[in-house]
Structure 1
Amino acid sequence: MSATAIWIGVAVYLLIAVTVAWLSRDESTNGRGVSMSGYFLGARRFGGFVSALSYSATTYSAFMMLGLAGLTYTAGVGAFGFEIVYFVGVSLVAVFGPRFWRVGRAYDFITPSEMLGHRYESRAVAASTALTNCLFLIPYAAVQLAGVGYLLAGMSNGAISFTTGTVFATVVALVFSYIAGMRSVMWTDALQAAFMLVSATAVAWLVVHHLGGPAAMFDQLAAVQGNVLTVPGPGFFSFATFLGLTLPWFFFSLSNPQVSQRLFMPKSLSALRRMLIGFLCFGLVYTLVSVTWGFGALLTLPGLPKADLATPSLLASDIIPPLLAEVVMIGILAAAISTIDSIMLTLSSMLSRDVYAHAAGHRDDVRQLRFGKWVLAVIAVLALMFAELQLNLIAVLSVAASTGLAVVVPAIIGAFFWRRGTAAGALASILGGSAVVLTMFATGMRPLGLSAGVWVLPVSIVLFVVVSLCTRAPRAVADEFMARACQNKQ
Structure 2
Amino acid sequence: MENWMLGTAIIGIYLALTLYIGYRSWKASQKYENSIEDFAVASGSFGILVLTLTFAATFHSAYAFTGIVGFVYNDGVGFWVNGLWLVPPALLFWIFGRRLWILGKKHKFFSLAEYMAKFYNSDLIGLLTVLIHAVFITPYIGIQLTGSGYIFETVTEGMIPFALGATVMMVILIIYVWAGGMRAVAWTDTFQGIFMFIGILLGSWLIVRNVAGSATAAFQEAVQAIPEFFSLPGPSGAITPGNYISRWVVTCLGMAMGPHIIIRMFTAKSLKVLKWSSILGAVYLTVIYWFTPAVGALARVISPGAARPDQLMVDYLWQYTPVIFAAIMLGGGFAAAMSTADSQAHAVATTVSVDLYKKHIKPNATSRQLTMVSRWMIVILSLVSLYIAITSPQALVNLLAISTGGIAQLTPAFVGSLYWKRSSKAGALASIIGGLAALIITQFYWVNPFGLGVLAPFWGLVVGSILFVVVSLITPPVDEKTIEETQVFATEVING
Report the TM-score when normalising by structure 2. Answer: 0.92
- Summarize the alignment of residues 374-453 of structure 1 with structure 2, pairs less than 5 Å apart: 374-390=376-392, 400-443=402-445, 445-449=447-451, 450-453=454-457
**Secondary structure class of the residue paired with 1:25:** helix
* CA deviation profile, 1:363-398 (whole Å, cap 9, x unmatched): 432222221111111111222222234599xx9997
1:86·1:249 contact (CA, 8 Å) conserved in 2? no
Q: Is the contact made by 1:248 and 1:399 (CA closer than 8 Å) also made in structure 2?
A: no
Give the drift of 1:121.
0.9
Is the 1:153–1:161 contact (alpha carbons within 8 Å) kept by the matching residues of 2? Answer: yes
Whether the aligned pair in 1 keeps the contact of 2:48 and 2:276 (CA below 8 Å) is yes
Query: Deviations along 1:453-488, whole A, 9 cap, x unmatched?
Result: 320211111222222223222222122111222243
Decide whether the 8 Å contact of 1:146 with 1:388 is kept in 2: yes
The aligned length equals 486
Q: Which residue of 2 aligns with 1:283?
A: 285
Does the 8 Å contact 1:145/1:387 carry over to 2? yes
Q: Which residue matches 1:340? A: 341
2:41 aligned with 1:38 = no
Query: In 2 relative to 1, CA 17–34 (structure 1 residues): closer, same or farther, beyond 3 Å?
Result: same
Deviation at 1:198, TM superposition (A): 2.0
The change in CA–CA distance for 1:363 and 1:416 in structure 2 (over 3 A counts) is farther
Where 1:388 maps in the other structure, the secondary structure is helix
SS in structure 2 of the partner of residue 216 of structure 1:
helix
Task: Give yes or no for the alignment of 1:484 onto 2:478.
Answer: no
- Could you tell me which residue of structure 2 aligns to residue 293 of structure 1? 295
Paired residue type of 2:343: S
Query: The residue matched to 1:212 in structure 2 has which SS?
Result: coil
Give the TM-score taking structure 1 as reference length: 0.93
Spell out, residue by residue over 1:149-206, the C-alpha distance to the aligned partner (whole angstroms, 9 max, x if none): 2323344444432222222222222122112001011011011111221232222222
In the alignment, the residues of structure 2 paired with residue 332 and residue 391 of structure 1 have an alpha-carbon distance, to the nearest angstrom, of 25
Identify if the C-alpha distance between structure 1 residues 399 and 85 changes in structure 2 by more than 3 Å, giving closer, same or farther: farther
Q: Percent identity?
A: 26
Q: Check if 1:93 corresponds to 2:93.
A: yes
1:321 aligns with 2:325: no
1:302 aligned counterpart, secondary structure:
coil
| Pair 1:320–1:177, CA change in 2 (3 A) | same
Which residue of structure 2 aligns with residue 458 of structure 1? 462
Q: Does 1:232 align with 2:233?
A: yes
- In structure 2, what is the equivalent of residue 135 of structure 1? 135
Q: Shift of the alpha carbon at 1:451? A: 3.0
Cα deviations by residue, 1:45-64 (Å, 9 ceiling, x for unpaired): 00011100111110012121
Equivalent residue number for residue 268 of structure 2: 266
**Residue 160 of structure 1 aligns with which residue?**
160
Q: Which amino acid aligns with 1:71?
A: F
> Aligned partners of 1:398, 1:157: CA distance in 2, in Å?
28
Runs of 4+ that moved beyond 6 A: 395-399
Report the 3-state secondary structure (helix = DSSP H, G, I; strand = E; otherwise coil) of the residue aligned with 2:402: helix
Report what 1:151 is aligned to.
Answer: 151
Paired residues of 2:136 and 2:400 also in contact (CA < 8 A):
no
1:3-35 residue CA offsets vs partner (Å, 9 max, x unmatched): 3322211110111111112112356x4386221
Tell me the amino acid that sits aligned with residue 139 of structure 1: P
1:408, 1:173 → 2: CA distance? 28
Are 1:404 and 1:434, in contact at CA under 8 Å, matched by a contact in 2? yes
Offset, 1:44: 0.4
Structure 1: how far apart are the matches of 2:230 and 2:400?
A: 24
Instruction: Return 5+ residue gaps in structure 1 as ranges.
Output: none
Distance 1:396 1:284 in 2: 29
Write the distance in 1 (CA, Å) between the matches of 2:88 and 2:66. Answer: 21
The amino acid that maps onto 1:451 is L
Structure 2 SS opposite 1:30: helix
Deviation larger for 36-45 or 61-70: 61-70
Q: Describe the SS at the equivalent of 2:291.
A: helix
Q: Which amino acid aligns with 1:448?
A: F
Match of 1:357 in 2: 358
State the distance in 1 between where 2:79 and 2:165 align: 27
Match in the other structure for 2:195: 195
1:384-432 CA-partner distances (Å, limit 9, x unpaired): 222234599xx99977311111110011101111111122221222222
- Bigger drift between 115-124 and 198-207 goes to 198-207
Match of residue 171 from structure 1 = 171
Give the deviation of 1:226 after TM superposition: 5.4
Q: Distance in 1 between matches of 2:158 and 2:80?
A: 30
Counterpart in 1 of 2:81?
81
**CA-atom RMSD in angstroms:** 2.3
Q: Distance in 1 between matches of 2:398 and 2:282?
A: 23
